[in-house]
Amino acid sequence: MKISVIGAGAFGTAMAITAGRAGNEVVLWAHDPDVARTIAESGSNPDYLRGAPLGESVRATSDLEEAAAFSDTLFMVVPSHHYREVLTNLRPHLRGRTRVISGTKGIENDSLDRMSEISADVLGEQLAAFAVLSGPTFAIETARGTPTAAVIASTDVIFAQELQQILSSPAFRLYHSEDVIGVELAGSLKNVIAIAAGVLEGLGLGANTNAALITRGLREMTRLGMTLGGRLETFAGLAGMGDLVLTCTGALSRNRTVGVQLGKGQTLDEILRDAKFVAEGIKTAKSAQQLGQRHSIEMPITTEMHRVLYEGESPREGIQRLMTRSLKAEVA
């Protein structure tokens, strides 16, 4: 298959490498012409994924028209707050109906839309099918061929199974699902919990605390996700528990890194000023907080992270507030 990967950040580059390794032809679109030029000249993306050759099946461009013309399958791997704009800019260049795969883990702030909803809104009848890929997939490990498993979800089962076949390889195993809502929400909400896990590390707290946070965080994610139409088994699977454990414990997690810096006393403004990466959990904390309020779902960890990120609460105060909440049954 020919696939246009839209977004040449770390994960977009890793997905381009993965798709190429599985035998597909890939065009990788970079917003920055200098990044595209460097990829073309060096065969790698040192700005975002150093040490991972792209292979002969992948070529780069900064021309949206070229990326749109290359394939009727777009693999969108751009930050959630740019997803609508990039897809809108792509639309005039699309030739007929288009299939979209999302590798974006976020929820749009203003609309509270998931990427599936944005895709349908922007493309309308031009959207032939939509799928979302998520799971425990650190970009550099995936690109290097470390054995990795993820899930591809679509309400079009044939599309999901087709993608499962064409993207899987001995180093990358995909499971298919019909639960688009659950996979999208799991991949997004876990980033907020990962920031909280980083806060614990920054505060110097131990394994007991982190295990409790991950477990209660999964409960919080599942409660909201099922209310919005996701399935329980999705949150217990690769997109839910699998990705949550990875991002809450792995040193490569961008969201956890932000939390560590918060726990050590840096402000969000200071972190964002120096950051060279996007941590989706920062913006998702706003969206998740609003979704919880809209649907009357109690989300204590998300609430405290929102306070720490946007209301000036100290991380230690947030942990103390969580520990002194009223006592209740575990399943409550």
Longest dimension (CA), the chain: 60
E-state strands within 50-158:
58-61, 73-76, 98-102, 127-134, 148-153
Q: What CA–CA distance (Å, rounded) separates 228 from 133?
A: 19
Q: Which of 105, 190, 283, 286 is catalytic?
A: 190
Burial class (CB in 10 A: 0-12, 13-18, 19+), 193: buried
Taking Cα atoms as reference points, which of 132, 124, 129, 180 lies closest to residue 159? 129
**What does the alpha-carbon distance between residue 141 and residue 146 come to, in Å, rounded to a whole number?**
5
Neighbours of 209 (CB within 10 A): 16
User: Distance (Å, rounded) from C-alpha 279 to C-alpha 247?
Assistant: 11
What span, in angstroms and rounded, lies between the C-alpha atoms of 11 and 308? 27
DSSP label at residue 204: T
Is residue 276 annotated as part of the catalytic site, yes or no? no
- Terminal Cα-to-Cα distance of the chain (whole angstroms): 47
- Tell me if 181 sits within 8 A of 117, measured CB to CB: no
Place of tokens 């190429």: 20
DSSP letter string, 246-279: HHHH-TT-HHHHHHHHHHTT--HHHHHHH--S--
Q: Helix (H, G, I), strand (E, B), or coil: what is residue 106?
A: coil
Measure the CA–CA gap between 117 and 175, rounded to whole angstroms: 22
Q: Are 151 and 237 in contact (CB under 8 A)?
A: yes
Q: How far apart are CA 324 and CA 122, in angstroms?
A: 45
Catalytic machinery residues: 190
